[in-house]
Structure 1
């Protein structure tokens, strides 16, 4: 299940950021997930809660936003939603030289820090 490795990587990145800013907790992590990223949102949510245990993220919510796939034909410039499984043949000219513009994302969009005072650095 690659969702566990994804969840662990997200937790590691956010925990590092929390330590750098002196945050004492994390309320939520917002994650962009492309529809072609091969991620099962429910499995990722479950794995995220497991990966957060015992960390500064314990109890944090994982809020995922699905990013729809978009493709563009290099020769004619037509853009379209390639669907699942992706059909990369251009609906405009029939060509097969498409570029995926979106849909493979897997990135942290925002972290909501838990309320509470941050330490003052002198």
Structure 2
């Protein structure tokens, strides 16, 4: 389950930022995850609780914001929302789409003390 590795990376980032910015505790972590990022949200939530035990984020709340997937359609030249990879363009029906958004995952906000 790669979600555990993601949580371990989040913990490392939190520890680095705590050392750099001088905070001792993380109360909330807000992640922004694109619909095409390939992350199972429930597994990520479970992994977050497990990996954060004994850390500065042990009791932190995890909020997840899902961002829509976007693609640029080559034939009609429009930026469109898509539900998943290989969907046709909702405007012209073409399958010549180039994904432009929805693959990212980032820490959007932290609440610390």
State whether TM-score is above 0.5.
Answer: yes
TM-score by length of 2: 0.88
Find the counterpart in structure 2 of residue 46 from structure 1. Answer: 46
Aligned equivalents of 1:99 and 1:105: distance in 2?
A: 15
Check whether the contact 1:78–1:90 (CA below 8 A) recurs between aligned residues: no
Whether the aligned pair in 2 keeps the contact of 1:74 and 1:99 (CA below 8 Å) is: yes
Paired residue total: 113
Partner of 1:90: 89
Secondary structure at the aligned position of 2:82 is classed as coil
Matched with 2:57 is 57
Farther-moved stretch of structure 1 (66-75 vs 88-97): 88-97
Task: Select the structure that is richer in strand.
Answer: 2
Three-state SS of the structure 2 residue aligned to 1:81 is strand
What's the counterpart of residue 71 of structure 2? 71
Aligned to 1:118: none
Structure 2 unmatched runs, 5+: none
Work out the CA distance in 2 between the residues paired with 1:90 and 1:68: 15
The Cα of 1:72 is off from its aligned counterpart by 1.2
**Alignment-derived partner of residue 12 in structure 1:** 12
1:76 partner SS? coil
Contact 2:86 2:95 in 1 (8 A): no
Structure 1: unaligned runs, 5 residues or longer: 115-122
The two structures, once aligned, show a CA RMSD in angstroms of 1.6
- Equivalence for 2:33: 33
